[in-house]
């Protein structure tokens, strides 16, 4: 917990003096702030500050306990808690405590980059679960503000790859390195045809949509030291699944990701995000275009305009998406049906090893728990089954973090980059067959 000067003094002071105890009174120095005011009792001021501090601690404890009782967070061990609800469901944070066991601070395990000092390289239009980053309530429509607040204001250059041989430094004619021009930090190794797509060049095409549809930039940030950057906007329309039943509202987003390390493409994804959690659902709805990508080569920035075609088809995609999801929401299924879907997604061979069988049982148990949670919300339907598969893949399935990623960032990257799209699509198609059966 951080304190101001007065609060530090309050923390060090004792409680209000006992009756009869001597007190020291000081008078303000002439010319200082408060000069001419009544005499100040230092102990009384300190006692008042401490009472407010203790009250704040109690409110914080009560609020946190309330979140536990409401099932919004759960303890996963050693003062580490997992968020169970909201768009940040599945994220983990740590609570540090003082010598009395009271909450001292909530330590975010966000995995995002930190710029000079302690400023998080993240912009958002509303507070994230960790409460960090540059928050502009209600968002902004200015791309330069977004790039600056999100830490995306840097540019990328390519420099020759050098190696030492026979005591001299030589240049590799076919290899280059990408580096940040603000810090000189290395980002990746690339070939001679690679051309950086600068952050502003890659993202400014969305500015037209922001102005035309009266929407705001939702988020922007830097991960893995600048190797990956992203921005997102929310589309003006929303879709409703089963308006006469569960009435589940889904808000569509456009997320654009740029890769500076040479291992990925520049990508534009149109994705529906449920407002209650960060599940991304990109299924193979017929004739829908939900992803567009280009390689970092000469002329790439001029091709980015083609991304508008992807965005232009988004309305058609979401209309069809809503129809199919509504059909799933109106189809009751048995637990056995859910088990058959899971078995089709993750088959278990008869000669599987003991370790494989153990992992399979662990996965099935986790999927069953998510399915039970979803059925409480939307009934025992094919829609709940699909939500269970999507929720498991996005929030629970093990992710192996790399040297430059935490598990949370690996999970977020998998969701944005569509790592599990094939599995989600297969689940969607299997569940649609139950409707037609």
Q: Where are the domains of the chain?
A: 1-70, 74-109, 123-318, 331-436
Q: Quick: pLDDT tens for 386-399.
A: 999 998 988 888 87
pLDDT band for position 118 (50/70/90)? very low
Q: Quick: pLDDT tens for 257-306.
A: 899 999 888 888 888 877 656 577 777 776 666 778 888 988 887 777 77
Per-residue confidence (pLDDT) for residue 288, from 0 to 100: 65
Distance of alpha carbon 23 from the chain centroid: 53
Q: Quick: pLDDT tens for 166-208.
A: 999 999 989 999 999 998 999 999 998 999 999 998 888 888 7
Q: Quick: pLDDT tens for 248-266.
A: 888 888 888 899 999 888 8
| N-to-C CA span, the chain | 59
Helix (H, G, I), strand (E, B) or coil at 372: helix
Q: What percentage of the chain carries pLDDT values higher than 70?
A: 68
Could you give the dihedral angle defined by the CA atoms of residues 24, 30, 31 and 34, in that order, rounded to the nearest 10 degrees? 40
Per-residue confidence (pLDDT) for residue 106, from 0 to 100: 59
Q: Which two tokens stand for residue 413?
A: 């990257």
Question: Which of 105-114, 181-190, 238-247, 268-277 tops mean pLDDT?
Answer: 181-190
The full DSSP string for 282-326 is ----TT---EEEE-SSTTHHHHGGGHHHHHHTHHHHHHHHHHHHH
Query: What average pLDDT does the segment 371-385 reach?
Result: 93
Give the HSE-up count for residue 288: Cα atoms under 13 Å, Cβ half-sphere: 22
Strands 228-234 and 134-135: unpaired
pLDDT band for position 43 (50/70/90)? low
Contact 206, 234 (CB under 8 A): no
């Amino acid at each position: 917990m951080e304190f101001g000067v007065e609060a530090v003094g309050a923390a060090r002071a004792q409680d209000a003096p006992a009756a009869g105890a001597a007190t020291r009174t000081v008078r303000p120095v002439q010319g200082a702030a408060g000069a001419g005011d009544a005499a100040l009792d230092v102990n009384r001021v300190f006692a008042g500050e401490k009472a407010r501090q203790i009250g704040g601690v109690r409110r914080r404890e009560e609020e946190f306990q309330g979140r536990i009782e409401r099932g919004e967070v759960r303890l996963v061990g050693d003062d580490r808690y997992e968020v169970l609800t909201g768009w940040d469901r599945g994220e983990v944070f740590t609570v540090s405590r003082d010598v009395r066991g009271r909450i001292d601070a909530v330590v975010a395990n966000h995995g995002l980059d930190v710029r000079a000092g302690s400023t998080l390289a993240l912009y958002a239009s509303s507070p994230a679960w960790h409460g960090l980053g540059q928050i502009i309530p209600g968002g902004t429509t200015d791309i330069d503000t977004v790039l600056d607040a999100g830490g995306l204001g840097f540019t990328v250059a390519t420099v020759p790859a050098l190696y030492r041989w026979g005591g001299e430094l030589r240049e590799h004619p076919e290899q280059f390195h990408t580096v940040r021009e603000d810090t000189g930090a290395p980002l990746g190794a690339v070939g001679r045809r690679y051309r950086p797509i600068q952050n502003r060049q890659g993202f400014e095409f969305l500015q037209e949509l922001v102005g035309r549809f009266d929407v705001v930039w939702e988020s922007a940030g830097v991960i893995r030291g600048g190797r990956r950057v992203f921005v997102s906007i929310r589309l003006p329309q929303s879709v409703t699944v089963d308006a006469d039943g569960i009435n589940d509202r889904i808000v569509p987003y456009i997320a654009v990701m740029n890769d500076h390390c040479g291992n990925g493409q520049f990508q534009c994804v149109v994705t529906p995000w449920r407002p209650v959690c960060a599940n991304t659902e990109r299924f193979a709805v017929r004739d829908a275009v939900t992803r567009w990508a280009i390689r970092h080569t000469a002329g790439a920035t001029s091709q980015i305009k083609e991304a508008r075609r992807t965005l232009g088809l988004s309305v058609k995609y979401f209309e069809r998406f809503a129809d199919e999801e509504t059909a799933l929401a109106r189809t009751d299924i048995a637990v056995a049906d859910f088990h058959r879907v899971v078995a089709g997604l993750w088959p278990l061979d008869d000669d599987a090893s003991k370790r494989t069988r153990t992992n399979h049982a662990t996965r099935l148990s986790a999927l069953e728990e998510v399915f039970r949670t979803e059925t409480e919300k939307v009934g025992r339907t094919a829609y709940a089954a699909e939500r269970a598969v999507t929720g498991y893949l996005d929030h629970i399935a093990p992710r192996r973090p790399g040297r430059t990623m935490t598990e949370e960032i690996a999970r977020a990257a998998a969701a944005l980059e569509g790592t599990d799209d094939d599995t989600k699509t297969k689940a969607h198609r299997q569940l649609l067959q139950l409707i037609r059966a």
